[in-house]
Amino acid sequence: MRHGISTVLLEKHTRQHVLSRVRAGVLESGTVHELRDAGVAQRLDRERIEHGGVCLGDDNTDFRIDFRELSGRPVTVYGQTEITRDLYEALDRDCADIRHECPVVEIGNVETTQPHLLYRTRTGACRLDADFIVACDGYHGVGRRFVPTSHRTEFERRLPYGWLGILAEAPPVHHELVYSRSSRGFALASMRSQQLSRYYIQVPRQHDPKDWSDQAFWKEFRRRLPGRFADRLQTGPSIEKSIANLRAFVCGTLRFGRLLLCGDAGHIVPPTGAKGLNLAVSDVHYASNALVQYFHHGDLQGLDSYSRKALDRVWLAMRFSWWMTRMLHLDPQSDGFESQLRSAEFLHLRRAPGAQGMFAENYAGLPY
């Protein structure tokens, strides 16, 4: 809308449901730049928590990787739910056409200049004609299904473990994120604010969060933290508790005709490297620039290169997230040889400035 291009947003759920979901909160510098450029970063700039580095530890020790020194860029902690709230407010100010409880059931004619989609409402089915359709409907959405299998290759790996996470009313254990690869399994200490913590522990993927009491979580979480962080941990009641299974997925094309895939509709990375939300923003960066280029200048170059540019960045982020995940987690399917290699990777990262520089460049965010 900022560029004079009429848009319609179709959302499967209610606005209340969208704003109630707990999601990621670590933003690359490029993501922050995009939000500022879109004019929706006023509250972010007031309330964000800036992190100049991250701590990594194991049963014996911990060390810090300095993002500012090694990459020149910090990362920002600001919840995805808050970004969604800011975007809603901006769209409301612009009187945007947002239609809630309107699940899309079919997409057609994307190989022509007149694509359309069908969606359901409480009163029946509706049709919407468009110039382009952008599917931002997640891994389980319908958008990707309308890219014919003959035109896409899908790459997927599933890990045998997941993350049990809680959102707790408690001050963070540290002013920066703490990643721990203990002998009992992985743990992550993150945050949403100075009084709201987001903590995770590695569990088998078949576990049910209902089987974990708050007391059981805190006991296990404390045992997996490096000593100095375990000693200062403050617990509190959980607001939300869930398990996220870890997997890697990439659709080999993010564009078919006039249908574009963005975010989880086209790719999912393990959450260890905090890349999911940031990759969705970079997809939107490439897609929106391509659409502006087309509507203002009739130039198809950006659209023709959209999938390649976006996927180049996706695969670079996947490489980093997969490496980081494998290094920090216990894998019940691996043998002693692989376990020793992962320990050697961690030791190399702790000792080698060059390895820490690579880590900082990737974690803080590669350029678009």
Catalytic residue IDs: 51, 179, 271, 275, 363
Strand runs labelled E in 257-337? 259-261, 267-268
Separation CA 147–CA 178 (nearest Å): 40
Q: What's at 297, amino acid-wise? A: H
The β-bridge relationship of strands 62-66 and 75-77 is unpaired
Length of the chain: 368
Q: Quick check: helix, strand or coil at residue 179?
A: strand
Phi, psi of 205 (to 5 degrees): -65, -20
User: b/e map of 317-328 (b: 16 or more CB within 10 Å)?
Assistant: bbebbbbbbbbb
Beta-strand relationship, 178-182 and 133-135: unpaired
Q: How many CB atoms lie within 10 A of CB 15?
A: 14
DSSP classification of residue 93: H
Helices 276-297 and 29-37, packing angle to 10 deg: 40
Strand ranges (E), 308-357? none
SS3 178: strand
Phi, psi of 189 (to 5 degrees): -105, 110
Query: What's the rounded Cα separation, in Å, for the pair 62 and 352?
Result: 14
Question: In angstroms, rounded to a whole number, what is the distance separating the alpha carbons of residues 237 and 62?
Answer: 27
Which strand (E) or helix (H) includes residue 349? helix 336-351
Helix, strand, or coil (residue 286): helix
From the centroid of its chain, how far is CA 69?
A: 25
